[in-house]
Structures are given as structure tokens and as C-alpha cells.
Structure 1
């Protein structure tokens, strides 16, 4: 059996930036074990698999170690494959997923994810989270559905932060968002997920389902720009639309290949 494989850089307008993701189109589902093995072999933050359905597509996402409920950059990459490589004739794609129905629209070079808004609340930092952030004098902590969010005062603090990844990996959560107001954009962030096999994710679309409602309230604005300050970096356009978050980015195709399963 042979499977097509694409590798793309999401949330960037140039190669070797943004967040790389693999996309594997399927006619029908293969086993969960095989999808996990492929994701592990790819060794990227996420590998997305999708199959066509009567009303669109069904999408699933795997890190090298686990299946996850939601992934923004791999969904953006998958939409690029369907729109630009598979020549899908519609302007909107509908994905069924473990996080419900997700839609992606295209306008010129920009793709927009329509994701559910995350709910968050003020939280007490677990001891391991506080210990891993000991280089920062003060910070606020919130808890969303999947992640803790640490709010710092400045972009420079986010950029220079060097958390203890080993200690951070013991925090009982999918990952940790670190954010602050931006100097040239509305807000900046970084995302650490050693619990999911990713020490630091380059650009995390799903984290913005928490970031967008938080900063919309803080800044009293619905339409915002954002940067993720990883080594590769990424740029996002963001909008809060009632109980949905609209997350826009660009995608660049890096690799087209074939998986040979003997």
C-alpha cells in the first residue's frame, strides 16, 4: 500500500518558518496504530489524516506520541492541500473532528480557521508550573479546557523565557501558553507541550482559541494581530466572533512524497 504525503509550513509566507505539519490524504480510515506509527516516523509536531465524507471531510491529528483533540496549524495545512493541490472547487471546507465541526475559508493567499472559543478561568499555578517559571518575578495564571495560560507583562519577557522543560513536563495539562502584549502586534505567545512530546511548538493555532477571547477582553477589540515567538516564528490574524475564533494564516508547501507500506 502506498499513501501520499505532504509536508507544509503553516502560519508563514515563506519556507523554513511557521509550523511544519504533515498531511496524509486517505480514501478510508487506516488503523489508529498505523496512523500513530506514521506520525511517530514523521517526527513533526502534528500529522493530519483526512477522509472525504458526504458533506466535506473528517480530520484527525497525531503528535509523535498521542492523538490530540484539536490542532490549528495542521488543519490549516490540510486545507491548503485540499484547496491548492486537490483543487477543491468550493471556497469553504467543512471538517468533522473530535472538536466538532471546523470550517476553513480561503481568500487569496489567506486561509481562515473557524474554531470554537475556549473558556478559561483564573487558576492557581500548580507547584511544578511555578517552579519552572522561577526566572519570572510575577505572572497571572489561567486555565482553559486543555492548557494553562501564563500572562507576563512584556514581549521581551516572553521572548527571553527559558522554562525548565523537565519540571514543566510534570504539570498535568496538554501544554502551557505563555503570552504578553506585543510591541508591534496586539499580543505575542509561546507554547510548551512536553506532555504531548513537543518541548516547544513553533506556532499553535489551537492555543489561540484561548488567547483570542482573553486578549479581546483585555484590549477591548475583536480584530487583532499576533505573533508566536518561537525560533521559527509565525504570524496570525485573529478575530473573536461571538463563540467562535477566526484564526488566519498562510501556508507554504515544502515536500510532496509517498509512504510505502510493505
Structure 2
């Protein structure tokens, strides 16, 4: 019997990078986004759905017959309070309700370092900031990610769904600045992390950091490693290519001073 994984936000940056990296024999990727997705290539076990994650009926249909959900959808940057609430918070509630009603046993929620963006960098300690450090959001976007973590906790405690919240650092092909040298999550490591979250026998409710094995990392890897994550990449190989800049005293970097509610 094939495993079926639903990925929301599949046309986004991370979703696009994961399409090829999460392919496995015996697995079907059900890809959902409001933007049209490229159709399945010959031999590719992919189902595409064009729908909005804020639509309860569409999400209910998308979750039918699914074994797990990787929820990447939503605004990935600062936006107005109205849009952030409607898409990131209410939208995630819609996704979780569809998961509950369909009897899906596991969901991975894409949280962000910005849920704890006002954590002081100098409080990291030798092992890095613990993954369950209490939220100190730096933006409306960060508030929405803290709310997503709280919703995940509720749906685990009430309904027994395995929920893993990943506070993603910065997932791109390469880091763009000095801050990225500590928070980078390489696409290949992201796939390893998602696989660990999908395969752990009984994770319960977890909050973990999503970063690579960076020489300058500020965030603990212990919690993700406990799930079986073994990162292979280090942002330090890009150190000579990025601008030096002025280090921020907070984890969220420039997000802590950017105007609230304005895209950045």
C-alpha cells in the first residue's frame, strides 16, 4: 500500500525544492497550492490540487486518504495583520480541522525562527537555544507562527494527532548574509529533516529547530536529532561569499526592526 503525503504550499520555495527530494518508491505526493502546479512527469507519483488552504471543503477533500501532512502553506513573510490572521492562523486551523476529520495521524507544521525572533543571540549557550524556548515573536508573521505552534499543541492534546512544529531558520539553496550562516537549512537537509519527522514511530508533540549543522549555528540540534535527523551541510562553505554586515543582537535579525504589517 502506498504512503500518501499531502504538502500544502507546494508551489512555494520550500515546497518546490521538496518535490523531487521527497520522492520515494511506494510514496505518492499530493501537492496543493492556490497557484497552478506543474503536472506530474512520466513515472512521477504526484497528484496536484489547485485550491486555497483557507477553503474547508477543499481541504477536507485534499486530506482524504492521506497518511501525513506537511503544512508549508501560508504567507512566508510579513504582511498585514488581516492577511496574516486569515491565511496563517485561520488557514492552519482549517488545515488541522480537515486533518482531524479525515483521521490523519501526523502533521508537520512549518513554524519559523521568527516565532522566537526577539530571543537574544548571546543567550544561545554552548548547545544553542533550546527548540522549545518560549515564543518571543518579532513580527505579525512571527506571532502567526507562535499561534500555529499553539494550535498544534491543542490538536495533539485534544485529538492525539502527532504534531511536529519546525522552527525553520532560512531554507534556500545558499545563505545570503552573515545571519544565514547560523540559521541556514540546506534543501537537502530539509528533506532529511522532513523524512525524520515522517518516519519517527511516535513523536507526540514536538517543537524543533530546522537548521543545518552550521559551524556558527545559534539553535540547538538536539531535539531534531532525537527524531533521527542527521544534517550533512554547513553554511560555513559560503562564508567568503556573503557580506559581513553588522550582527543583530536578536535571533530575528532585521525582522525585529522592520515595520509591522509591511511586506519585507
Query: Which structure has greater helix proportion?
Result: 2
Relative contact order, higher structure (CA 8 A, sep 6+): 1
Query: Which structure has greater strand proportion?
Result: 1
Provide the TM-score with structure 1 as the length reference. Answer: 0.28
